[in-house]
Amino acid sequence: MQRPFVGSRALATGAVANKYRLRTEFRAVFPDVYVRDDGLALTLRQLTEAAWLWSGEQGIVSGVAALALHGAKWVQDGVPVDLIHPNPRAPRGIITHRDTLFPGEFGLRAGLPATTAARTAFDLGRWLGRNDAVARLDALGHATGFDREQVLEISRRHPGARHTRRLNTALAVHDPGAQSPQETWLRLLVIDAGYPRPRTQIPVDCGDGYPRYHLDLGWEDRMIGMEYDGAHHRSDPDQARHDIVRHETLAELGWIVIRVVAGMRRAEILRRLGRVWSSSVRTDRRIA
């Protein structure tokens, strides 16, 4: 990976011979920040480092870029880089926030100064709309297992922070058990439709005392599960064979599993769930 650098510094030290070579052999990412022009799209890691260099190495990586530094999945390379930095005149591709950071809310992460997991959750919950915030919090929780109480403590430490109601709303339905944004979307769909909050990653004992399968989400007391099947479930023959055996086994155990794929309408999903729900019988059964 080509690392970004400060152009004026490279010229001053002789790392790049002259301005002509700087213009022709390298690509400007942000003002006075360059990377060798190899014709490839920049990764989020490159953009994040470039944004930090643009800030004079003073900004603190936050938001979605910090989420990626914490190892969360499902973060696209092209998203803007959030920096907690006082300069309001950020170039395109950088979003600056004049927020206060207290000791313990930031540190080095993957070689860059970034907000902690709890502080990142605090920011994502306030800066994003509810569904996007929950999806990002789910990804962060899955990667780091951040402590919700630590996030609330940060909120108490910043009584004047904007949009804390958004944060509280997102935290109330956050679940680190979600393993993809699609699973988060499906969970929020059924919660918003008025169903009890489902449990995620439900272990299913197939008779030998050990959980062989896990359901994306569902309700153990009604033996109803829901799963979001990605494209690989249909394109990978081995995965398809595994799915056939898996769903036959779950059915034999009494589970009704509603499978959801991309393109299904919300009304169709809820109609299928409603049919199953109305015919199911609530029991005291609980899966360990």
Is 51 a member of any domain?
no
Residues 69 and 148 in one domain: yes
What pLDDT digit, counting tens, does each position of 200-237 carry? 999 998 766 566 789 999 999 999 999 998 755 455 67
Looking at residues 36-51, what average pLDDT do you find?
A: 94
Question: Looking at the predicted structure, is the pLDDT value of residue 285 above 60?
Answer: no
125-129, 147-151, 243-247: least confidently modelled range = 243-247
Average pLDDT, rounded, for the chain: 92
What does the pLDDT read at residue 248? 87
Question: Looking at the predicted structure, is the pLDDT value of residue 45 above 90?
Answer: yes
Looking at residues 250-263, what average pLDDT do you find?
A: 92
pLDDT band at 243 (very low <50, low <70, confident <90, very high): confident
Residue with tokens 């109601």: 165
Question: What's the total number of domains in the chain?
Answer: 3
Looking at residue 3, the DSSP 8-state letter turns out to be P
What does the pLDDT read at residue 284? 60
Query: What is the residue range of 222's domain?
Result: 181-279
Alpha helix segments (H runs only) across the chain: 7-13, 19-25, 44-54, 63-69, 117-127, 130-144, 148-157, 164-173, 181-192, 232-235, 237-252, 266-279
pLDDT band at 288 (very low <50, low <70, confident <90, very high): very low
Is 285 a member of any domain?
no
pLDDT band at 134 (very low <50, low <70, confident <90, very high): very high
For residue 35, the cross-strand partners are 27
Residues 162 and 269 in one domain: no
Question: Looking at the predicted structure, is the pLDDT value of residue 169 above 70?
Answer: yes
Which amino acid belongs to residue 64? V
Return the percentage of the chain with pLDDT > 90, whole number.
81
- Rounded CA-CA distance 277/100 in Å is 48
Residue 254 maps to which CATH number? 3.40.960.10
For residue 128, the cross-strand partners are none
Please report the DSSP string for 191-210 in residue order: HHTTPPPPEEEEEEE-SSSS
Percentages helix, strand, coil for the chain, rounded to the nearest 5?
45, 20, 35
Question: Looking at the predicted structure, is the pLDDT value of residue 286 above 60?
Answer: no
What does the pLDDT read at residue 212? 79
8 Å CB contact between 239 and 233 = yes
| pLDDT: which is higher, 141 or 204 | 141
For residue 229, the cross-strand partners are none
What pLDDT digit, counting tens, does each position of 63-111 carry? 999 999 999 999 999 899 999 999 999 999 999 999 999 999 999 999 9
- Rounded CA-CA distance 25/187 in Å is 48
Is 284 a member of any domain?
no
Residues 189 and 218 in one domain: yes
Is 50 a member of any domain?
no
Looking at residues 145-154, what average pLDDT do you find?
A: 97
Residue with tokens 């930090």: 52
Residues 217 and 267 in one domain: yes
What does the pLDDT read at residue 235? 56
- Rounded CA-CA distance 202/205 in Å is 10
